[in-house]
Amino acid sequence: MLKSFLEQTSAKYKGMKQVYQYIHANKPVTKAKIVEEIEMKQTTVARHLEYLVSEGFIKIAEYEESSGGRPPALYEIEPDAGFMIGVDLSRIESTIILVNMSFSEVDSFTFAMTEKHTPPYTLQLIKEKIEQLLEKHNIPRDMLLGIGIGTVGPLDREKGIILEPDAFIASGWKNISVIDGLESFEDEKILLENGANVATLHEYMKGNILDQTILYCISGRGLRCGVLADGHILKNKTGDASSFGETIIEVNERRSLASFISYDYLLREVNKRYLNEKSFPFYHKEKGNNQKELMDQFMKALASEDPIVLEVVLESAVTYGIGIANVINILHPDKVILSSELIHTYPPYYEKIVASAKQYIYRMKREPVHFNKEDRNVNTISIGAAVMIFQSYFE
């Protein structure tokens, strides 16, 4: 089984794992290219390839056109040799995804996070859905490489504990052991990381550019930013990616970047201006305790180009751009990915953020930064969490 092979740490398997990892990242590839790139003897590579093919971990995808003699074989991984589970455990919506060794989605399940989604209820649901996905696709436990979870920090990664996150709708999300909550998978590898960090892993694997630095920003209830450089996540001790949002934007009142772009701020500011300009509120507090309903109302008003809502959103975008420019000036990323429901719902918001940021990036002409929106057709955080599981076997 692939899982057993990847768990090996002896010198005997080190070279084979190196060859497998190279094929995974560069498929399809010839034996000659492997020899050249990883500086291993041709006879050793040939022996490793023979073993990997015989075990069903890799396969010959096709043959290159021959210039004379036997055509060179092109090797690629066997996608169904193993599987991983990735979980995006977020404040508003969570996703469980089953992926194969190519990180291609086999199946997934998404659910909204509501007032009833307390930690025991949510973790039980995640556990049941993982079991159902494995059963549905006839995947035995020894083919499951592990479960990666991207969530909201701060975290205790080693113990698998979500410490004190903000803004979950349900109560109780404090000092929660995810591993204890998934007790039926106690024999499996379970890794916990901030969702913004694993999102950068997915973006990196997709581009496969070794020296690229990526900044991945997720905004909504707050602001989380993940950073990846040279294929490695830049981690702080607590797994709290929200610290970027605490950049001070307004000195006199010590207002942070997150406080100018969060959904809470947008709703409050729209309500305040409605009262000032129209003498009636955008929403009534006694009727508006459910933020999802309020944001649905907000998005509808935005879509209909309510002038007050538009004004607040675009002002917030300018501030967001300034804050992101500060982060870019420190980290010098090659690529910046922006993700939020608001960005996808109202494209001018994204455009204003980027335009604002570019005004304050001091190296923009010399070393351009490439901005992109998150691809909504891909479960970025959950697939990134699965990538984290895969990478852990080579550390």
Hey, where are the domains in the chain?
Answer: 2-80, 83-208+379-392, 213-373
Tell which CATH classification among 1.10.3720.10, 3.30.200.20, 3.40.47.10, 1.10.10.10 matches the domain 2-80.
Answer: 1.10.10.10
Residue 10's Cβ-side half-sphere holds a number of Cα atoms within 13 Å equal to 4
Nearest Cα neighbor of 241 from 259, 228, 250, 252 is 228
The amino acid sitting at 154 is: P
Nearest Cα neighbor of 75 from 62, 85, 65, 88 is 62
User: What is the pairing mode between strands 176-177 and 335-339?
Assistant: unpaired
DSSP string, 87-116: EE--SSEEEEEEEETT--EEEEEEEE--TT
Q: Find out whether 226 and 366 touch, Cβ atoms under 8 Å.
A: no
CB atoms within 10 A of CB 45: 22
Alpha-carbon span 102 to 233, nearest angstrom: 21
Least confident of 62-66, 171-175, 269-273: 62-66
Which residue carries 């996608």 as its tokens?
79
Residues paired with 94 in a beta bridge: 111
* CATH number for region 213-373: 3.30.420.40
Share of the chain above pLDDT 70, in %: 96
Chain segment 212-231, per-residue pLDDT in tens: 899 999 998 889 999 988 77
Cα of first residue to Cα of last residue in the chain, in angstroms, is 20
For residue 160, give both structure tokens.
Answer: 């698998």
Contacts of 350 (CB under 8 A, 6+ apart): 317, 338, 343, 373
CB atoms within 10 A of CB 12: 8
pLDDT at 253 over 90: no
Which residue carries 């969702």 as its tokens?
195
pLDDT at 385 over 70: yes
H/E element, 387: helix 380-392
pTM over 0.95: no
Q: What's the topology of domain 83-208+379-392? A: Nucleotidyltransferase; domain 5 (3.30.420)
**Is 213-373 the same fold as 83-208+379-392?**
yes
User: What is the pairing mode between strands 190-194 and 144-151?
Assistant: parallel
Share of the chain above pLDDT 90, in %: 71
Q: Find out whether 373 and 332 touch, Cβ atoms under 8 Å.
A: no
User: What is the pairing mode between strands 213-219 and 335-339?
Assistant: parallel
Q: What is the mean pLDDT of residues 141-161?
A: 94
Alpha-carbon span 298 to 84, nearest angstrom: 37
The confidence band for 288, taking pLDDT boundaries of 50, 70 and 90, is very low
For residue 140, give both structure tokens.
Answer: 């035995």
